[in-house]
Amino acid sequence: MKLVYWEIGAWMAGEERPPCEVIRSLGITYSSSQANPIADNWFFYDVDNLPESLPDYIEIK
């Protein structure tokens, strides 16, 4: 399973921390991450410890 972190959505929600820091603060663990600047998002792979709800700018794929 992977997560997609949409940076424009995070910015619109007032989030200013780097994506990796936000993911860690939610208690989510992952094996690797990859920035995708052309689409303004990040991918987080092999995620675990997902909370019951996620911010709107983080999508499960």
Q: Largest Cα–Cα distance in the chain?
A: 30
**What pLDDT is recorded for position 61?**
94
Name the residue among 19, 17, 45 with its Cα closest to residue 33. 45
**What pLDDT is recorded for position 27?**
98
Q: Tens digit of pLDDT for each residue in 1-59?
A: 999 999 999 999 999 999 999 999 999 999 999 999 999 999 999 999 999 999 999 99
**What pLDDT is recorded for position 44?**
99
**What pLDDT is recorded for position 5?**
99
Strand 32-36: give its sheet, edge to edge. Answer: 32-36, 41-45, 2-6, 58-60
Q: How far apart are CA 25 and CA 13, in angstroms?
A: 16
**What pLDDT is recorded for position 54?**
98
